[in-house]
Amino acid sequence: MPSIFTRIIAGEIPSYKIAEDANFFAFLDINPNAKGHTLVVPKKEINKLFDLDSQTYIELMQFSRRVAIALEKSILCKRIGMSVIGLEVPHVHVHLIPLNDMKDAAFESKVSLTSDEFIAIAEKIKANFI
Ligand code: 5GP
């Protein structure tokens, strides 16, 4: 069965998309640690980060960096943090999280956003993505 992220990439499940190329897809996390929390996913469905072939791994980091730079221009924060967890969804994804406080990195306190807020954040990040 395809992962939920494969279904998002295919457009079967809606998402607040940030960016996409032939191999990667970036979209807002639906249950964000902080405003602008973004996931970057390889289209190839692989469970664990370090099982990626080295080229995909490097390209995932390069694509994530471009998204992180757009995020940093879009969201007021001290810096962008990066985590890879994968305990919930077994399809590699990089969490890019705007950080103001250590708690933003903790996956414990979450922020609640309306659909309009998600749309506005996604539009802003998209406009800064190069
Ligand atoms: P992890 O697998 O790294 O522990 O966490 C998976 C992340 O994916 C969580 O932060 C969760 O909020 C996010 N997530 C799970 N399902 C969906 C979904 O359907 N849409 C979006 N946008 N994010 C999701």
Cα of 73 from ligand 1 centre, angstroms:
23
Using the atom order of ligand 1, give the atom closest to the CA of residue 4.
19
For residue 124, the model assigns a pLDDT of 98
Distance CA 93, CA 86 (A): 7
pLDDT along the chain (130 residues), means of 10: 97 98 98 98 98 98 98 98 98 98 96 98 98
Cα of 115 from ligand 1 centre, angstroms:
16
For residue 96, the model assigns a pLDDT of 99
For residue 41, the model assigns a pLDDT of 98
Question: DSSP of 5-63, one letter per residue?
Answer: HHHHHTTSS---EEEE-SSEEEEE-SS-SSTT-EEEEESS--SSGGGS-HHHHHHHHHH
Distance CA 33, CA 15 (A): 17
For residue 78, the model assigns a pLDDT of 98
Cα of 29 from ligand 1 centre, angstroms:
6
Mutate to test the pocket of ligand 1, among 30, 37, 45 (most ligand atoms within 8 A of CB): 30
Q: Is 121 helix (H, G, I), strand (E, B) or coil?
A: helix
Q: Is 91 a catalytic residue?
A: no
Which residues does a 6 A CB cutoff place in the pocket of ligand 1? 4, 13, 15, 27-31, 39, 85-89
For residue 118, the model assigns a pLDDT of 98
For residue 47, the model assigns a pLDDT of 98
Domains of the chain by start residue, with CATH:
4-128 (3.30.428.10)
Which residues on adjacent β-strands are paired with residue 121?
Answer: none
For residue 44, the model assigns a pLDDT of 97
For residue 99, the model assigns a pLDDT of 98
